[in-house]
Structure 1
Amino acid sequence: MNDVHNETRTRLLAENWRMRELPGFMGLAGPLWTRREDAGWVYGLLCEARHLNPAARAHGGALMTLLDHAISTVAWEASDRAACVTLQMDTQFQGAVREGQFAQARAQVTHRTGSLIFLRGEVHADEQPVLLAQAILKVFPGAR
């Protein structure tokens, strides 16, 4: 871990971000950062060398993983914490994230039917849009 990453981690903690070491794939892709906002939760990823592709930018799959986590967590909360799975996620990349930048993901429900939740999500870094997505998740009532 270099000094820039340590300084960024210190700043994030001062801004009420919490670092989460999660089990499963998100634990490998992270660490994930979280912070409560008025409208819900925001999720973050501090881009480190291990998140980069050969072009020295955050791998698209890493950013999609971050956004899928944000979207699925919002769906989980909207469905009274029932299990949800992503059926479809359409993404559009708008920019890139470099090492040392902090990517932030937000999502919101746009529509809901009986067992489907439609959401919109976005990732920003330095207040610039990086990734936009629309997703459909299926809810499994009674499953946790």
Structure 2
Amino acid sequence: MNSSTAHVIATPAEASSIPEGFEPVDRGSAFLALLGPVYMKQATPDRTVIGVRIDGRHTNVKGIAHGGMLTTLADSALGIAIAIANNEKPMVTVNLSTDFVAAAHPGDWVEAHVDIQRIGARLAFANCYLQVGEKRIMRASGVFASV
């Protein structure tokens, strides 16, 4: 594979085809903005889904989504979901574990689905699954601490 293959940008049709119900994320840091555009929808009153369209900026030398990019997406999704569920109380990541199951490619729509296990006075625990369609591509487990 040559280097030009690894930097293929999603076509305009792919980039503009954001699934129904998703709106641009208007929260988070400048660092999260570098990942995006990132989108969010409230799937249910207690379930937030974060999504991003993979393009060439997100890929590694093999032309698939970089593991660091996917880890950043999972960490951000966990943090956003916990903040929403915890009345916007500031928390930071203290531990994050990831397992990669499959790859995402340019043009893929990746969704982060968060399952909050517990929010306590000091710590919050949650899992996140990144999916392309119904296919899970990564699992992340995070512990967050109040600041």
Quick check: 2:9–2:57 contact (8 Å CA) kept in 1?
Answer: no
Q: Which residues in structure 2 correspond to 1:70-109 (within 5 Å)? A: 70-109=77-116
**Alignment correspondent of 2:24:** 19
**Alignment correspondent of 2:141:** 134
Task: Note if 1:30 corresponds to 2:12.
Answer: no
Cα deviation, residue 19, structure 1: 2.9
Cα deviation, residue 4, structure 1: 5.9
Q: Partner letter of residue 24 of structure 1? A: A
Quick check: 1:79–1:139 contact (8 Å CA) kept in 2?
Answer: no
Cα deviation, residue 3, structure 1: 9.8
SS of residue matched to 2:99: strand
Distance 1:25 1:116 in 2: 24
Query: Using a 3 Å threshold, how does the CA distance of structure 1 residues 102 and 26 change in structure 2: closer, same or farther?
Result: same
> Which sits farther off after the overlay, 117-126 or 106-115?
106-115
Distance 1:65 1:73 in 2: 12
List gaps (5 residues or longer) in structure 2: 1-7
Deviations 1:65-98 (A, max 9, x none): 1111110011112221111100001110011000
One of 25, 31, 48 as aligned partner of 2:55: 48
SS of residue matched to 1:33: strand
Query: Using a 3 Å threshold, how does the CA distance of structure 1 residues 91 and 72 change in structure 2: closer, same or farther?
Result: same
List gaps (5 residues or longer) in structure 1: none
TM-score, with structure 1 as normaliser? 0.86
Query: How many residues are treated as equivalent by the alignment?
Result: 138
SS of residue matched to 1:12: coil
**Alignment correspondent of 1:5:** 11
SS of residue matched to 2:18: helix
Give identity over the alignment, percent: 22
Distance 1:32 1:95 in 2: 21
TM-score, with structure 2 as normaliser? 0.84
